[in-house]
Structure 1
Amino acid sequence: MGRKRKGRVISGWLVVDKPAGMTSTSVVNKVRWALQAKKAGHAGTLDPEATGVLAVALGEATKTVPYITDALKAYEFSVRLGQATNTDDAEGEVIAESDARPDDEAIKAELGAFLGDIMQVPPKFSAVKIDGQRAYKLARDGEDIELTARPLWVEELVLSDRPDADHAVLEMTCGKGGYVRSIARDLGQALGCHGHVQWLRRIWSGPFEAKDGLSIEHIDAMAHSPELDTYLRPLEEGLADLPMVNCTPEGAAKLRNGNPGMVFASDVEYGDECWAALDGQAVAVGRFKAGELHPSRVFNTSTEG
């Protein structure tokens, strides 16, 4: 038999304000250690030098990660104008320079081209896979790689500050899979002056906001104590973008066994994805069909404590 992972069986979300210089995986490992949790994961990778909200899911909440990953997210970032780098951020080597510096009106005029459904080529130094290998590994090895453009929904992109001629601070709200570094690179190209990300902060992700996030220092200070548990948010917050239906105790018992269960719904239609609750607690996610929820994910929090 395989060795079982040790740790507490707890479920919920811990919102972290990730510092620069730390990988998303390192943050998850820190949270798992601090809470002595058996299972943890995160909803959406941030680059090591990026800061801001990183929502860490624990236990049964990991089953709701896809809904946060798919949710809208907002970023604030500074574009360094006049320079392109091989990584499209400040960590890379400068590969092109320009003396041109667009004014505010020129920047605003170009932002419209990045709104709505756009196609975006990821940075060469990214985790995108090419023939089974990460693009950043191939790029580090000096290979000349070409990445395929991918679709991205950009809901909002505005110029929020202009500290000086070399820098423009932007705010963007976008969907799943967006690369802020690509926005900075492509905006610089469109303006004819080159550009890369100087700094980047994720302001919010789905229902989670950076201003509510715990710092790594606070997590360290409260590690292995009941105080840290008080910052856990319910797994149901990961389902905020899905409609909720209520079920009976009998329906909940069927759902927990992976079978369709009766639910009471007023605002959902046949085939809609939704989640069923009993006394406010999530039981399952699935498709609503003829008065029943057909489950695709089932939550089991009965053994927690």
Structure 2
Amino acid sequence: MKPARQVVDGVLLLDKPVGITSNAALQKAKWLLNAKKAGHTGTLDPFADGLLPLCFGEATKFSAYLLDADKRYRAVLQLGVTTTTGDPEGEVLSTRDVAVNCAEIDAVLPGFMGEIEQIPPMHSALKHQGRPLYEYARAGIEIERPPRKVTIRSLAMTECVPPRVILDVQCSAGTYIRTLAQDIGAALGCGAHLTALTRLGSGGFKLEQSHTLAELEALDPARRHALLLPADCLVAHLPAVLLDDTEAEALRQGRSIAHAATESGLIRVYTASNTFLGLANANAGQLVPRRLIATPQA
């Protein structure tokens, strides 16, 4: 019999395999860790693989900070073929000859650098009137979608053997790589769709730091838990301050405290013994509790 679910706090950097949903990967990891509470920091499509940070217990309180972080991808494009979804899961819409060479492909990429506008794909989890767009798409209903601004920070071609092209993409959160592939194909005049996608990075985390489900299954419970990173790794980009015992207790009780923090805005707060308390807002010489770690009751 499997033991009762236990309190598990921390972040697991998972290397999601191709062929399963992000939620299925999360549920498998949750089961392997015997955790009570879990969540992810942004989904990967079933056909995609790569870095999928998973949050457990108290770490779920800070998952939004990684959800909004920049991402990096390895994207494989098939020129000359468009599909209904912009990826290999859709039906083929059109097939065209590919007459462009690598120099011509490389020449269009700068036009997609910086802040650009994308129209979100119908086959996405973006919601309209409370329902995800993919539900409308499956019913054959087209919903008008306003363009959204995203930022492509880096776009480099790492392999070019037309009609197959591989791109390294660093982008803001919310960027649809399928849409980027389709738009590049349209700019080349031959169309394109995404055949494979690997997430290489999210925030400050890299795929090389991640672990597969097979690795987790091969470990005993203690070694699985040893792979978890502390919750504050999700907010490591924020400045930090140490508090004395009186200040820490006041903050835990939900009270603001006087503190001359070096920067205004969100601050990581720790006890004098370097125990992570959570986040506070620093402003005008005050720290106001924002999101705190629950403390066990004696």
Shorter-chain TM-score category? over 0.9
Deviations 1:65-120 (A, max 9, x none): 11101111100011100011000001111101211332222222211121111111
Find out whether 1:300 has 2:294 as its counterpart: yes
User: Any residues of structure 2 matched to 1:1-305 within 5 Å, and which?
Assistant: 7-162=5-160, 164-222=161-219, 225-263=221-259, 265-266=261-262, 268-269=263-264, 272-278=265-271, 279-302=273-296
Q: Could you tell me whether the CA contact under 8 Å between 1:71 and 1:175 is conserved in 2?
A: yes
**Greater shift after overlay, 86-95 or 116-125?**
116-125
Corresponding letter in the other structure for 2:39: G
Please tell me whether the aligned partners of residues 207 and 237 of structure 1 are also in contact (alpha carbons under 8 angstroms).
no
Equivalent residue pairs, number: 294
Contact 1:76/1:170 (CA < 8 Å) preserved in 2? yes
Letter of the 2:239 counterpart: P
Deviation string 1:158-202 (CA, Å, 9 cap, x unpaired) is 11111x211110011111111110000011001111001010000
CA distance in 2: counterparts of 1:158 and 1:181, whole angstroms: 16
TM-score by length of 1: 0.92
- Counterparts in 2 of 1:179 and 1:18: CA distance versus 1, 3 Å: same
CA distance in 2, matches of 1:303, 1:36: 22
Letter in 2 for 1:21: G
> TM-score, length-normalised on structure 2?
0.94
Q: Which runs of 5+ in 2 are unaligned?
A: none
Amino-acid identity (%): 35
How far apart are the structure 1 equivalents of 2:295 and 2:52?
23
Q: Any idea what the Cα deviations from partners look like across 1:127-183, whole Å, max 9, x if unmatched? A: 111222211111111123332211112111111111x21111001111111111000
Distance 1:233 1:264, change over 3 A: farther
- Partners of 2:252 and 2:120 lie apart in 1 by 40
Shift of 1:205: 0.5
- Matched residue, 1:3: none
1:196-239 Cα distance to aligned partner (Å, 9 max, x none): 1010000011122211111111122236x111011011111000
Instruction: Please tell me the residue identity of whatever aligns with 2:285.
Output: G
Provide the C-alpha distance between the structure 2 equivalents of 1:94 and 1:277, rounded to a whole number of angstroms. 54
Q: Distance in 2 between the 1:303 and 1:58 partners?
A: 20
Letter in 2 for 1:186: D
Distance, in Å, in 1 between the alignment partners of 2:207 and 2:10 is: 17
Instruction: Judge conservation of contact 1:276–1:293 (CA < 8 Å) in 2.
Output: no
Asked whether the 8 Å contact 1:78–1:200 carries over to 2, the reply is yes
Rounded to whole Å, the distance in 2 between the matches of 1:77 and 1:253 is: 48
Work out whether residues 245 and 263 of structure 1, in 8 Å CA contact, stay in contact via their aligned partners in 2. Answer: no
Retained in 1: the 8 A contact 2:102–2:162? no
Q: Matches of 1:228 and 1:301 in 2, distance apart?
A: 24
Distance (Å, rounded) in 2 between the aligned partners of 1:123 and 1:113: 20
